[in-house]
């Protein structure tokens, strides 16, 4: 096999080959994935909206294709989809900004501890160090998280899922508390986390079709 195009929709059709190559693990993942996105405390529609956001965070084109199509079947609108994508964008950028407090600590060489909740207070220093960019980001983040066609609660649950995808402890803390303040239950938060877990693992699995193509390349 020889093809210069690394991504094509048709490549995803090779995914069942993994069921032959690693049957037990493949079956276990499929069962987990189905349970993670099945309706529970959160409806299937919201889970697909969360999945779209996470798929944009992992950057998996196959996952985007699959979950946008699933979302359409759940009657997700273009506006709802777009708002979820911008929550993902704000959280992915926000993870980088939040970790800026670690950079300030490293630059100053003032602490042995890499993560403390209190360190996040240092983010205000960026208002003086890089004022215009910092204020522009804060404005974008505020608008992305503002209730629109998606409620503030829904956006916070999306943010919780994306924060677990980026692995930002500050973001997890902020948006879990944000979801709680918006009335989300612990069960709803947990379900959003498992959608993120399924999508993050699913991104790795989906890219296996690229590995199969690479292995078969002459």
Tens digits of per-residue pLDDT, 147-182? 999 999 999 999 999 999 999 999 999 999 999 999
pLDDT at position 116 is: 87
| DSSP H helical ranges for 74-151 | 78-98, 100-108, 126-129, 131-145
> Could you tell me the CATH number of the domain that includes residue 68?
1.20.1290.10
Residue 118 burial (CB < 10 Å; 0-12/13-18/19+)?
Answer: exposed
On whether residue 132 sits in a domain, the answer given is yes
- What value does the mean pLDDT of the chain take? 95
Kindly report the pTM of this predicted structure: 0.93
Report if residue 35 sits inside a domain: yes
Q: What is the mean pLDDT of residues 120-124?
A: 93
Q: Which helix (H) or strand (E) holds 218?
A: none
Structural domain contains residue 162:
yes
Average pLDDT over residues 191-199: 98
Region 184-197: mean pLDDT is 98
* Residue 55: C-alpha distances to residues 60, 141, 153, 196, 206 (Å): 6, 19, 20, 9, 11
| Coil, strand or helix at 150 | coil
Give the structural domain span for 44: 21-216
pLDDT at 55: 98
Q: How many domains does the chain have?
A: 1
Question: Whole-angstrom Cα distance, residue 53 to residue 170?
Answer: 19
**Within a domain: residue 102?**
yes
In a domain, 11, yes or no: no
Structure tokens at 30: 């499929």
Q: Establish if 13 belongs to a structural domain.
A: no
Say how far apart CA 47 and CA 31 lie, in whole Å.
16
| pLDDT (mean) for 185-198 | 98
Q: Is the pLDDT of residue 1 over 60?
A: no
How far apart are the C-alpha atoms of 166 and 73, rounded to whole Å? 28
Please check the confidence at residue 112 and state whether its pLDDT lies above 90: no
Does the pLDDT of residue 31 top 90, yes or no? yes
Q: Examine residue 8 and state whether it is found in any structural domain, yes or no.
A: no
Q: Is residue 66, in this structure, part of any structural domain at all?
A: yes
């Amino acid at each position: 096999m020889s093809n210069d195009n690394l991504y094509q929709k048709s490549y995803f059709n090779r995914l069942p080959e993994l069921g032959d190559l690693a049957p037990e693990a493949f079956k276990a993942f499929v069962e987990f994935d189905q349970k993670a996105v099945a309706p529970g405390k959160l409806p299937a529609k919201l889970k697909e909206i969360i999945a779209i956001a996470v798929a944009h965070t992992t950057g998996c084109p196959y996952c985007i294709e699959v979950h946008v199509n699933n979302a359409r079947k759940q009657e997700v609108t273009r506006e709802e989809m777009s708002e979820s994508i911008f929550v993902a964008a704000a959280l992915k950028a926000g993870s980088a900004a939040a970790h800026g407090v670690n950079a300030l600590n490293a630059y100053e060489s003032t602490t042995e501890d890499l993560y403390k909740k209190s360190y996040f207070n240092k983010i205000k220093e960026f208002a003086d160090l890089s004022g215009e960019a910092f204020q522009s980001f804060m404005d974008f983040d505020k608008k992305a998280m503002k209730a629109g066609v998606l409620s503030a609660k829904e956006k916070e649950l999306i943010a919780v899922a994306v924060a677990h995808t980026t692995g930002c402890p500050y973001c997890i803390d902020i948006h879990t508390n944000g979801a709680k303040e918006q009335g989300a239950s612990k069960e709803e938060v947990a379900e959003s986390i498992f959608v993120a877990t399924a999508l993050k693992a699913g991104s790795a699995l989906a890219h296996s079709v690229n590995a199969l193509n690479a292995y078969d390349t002459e």
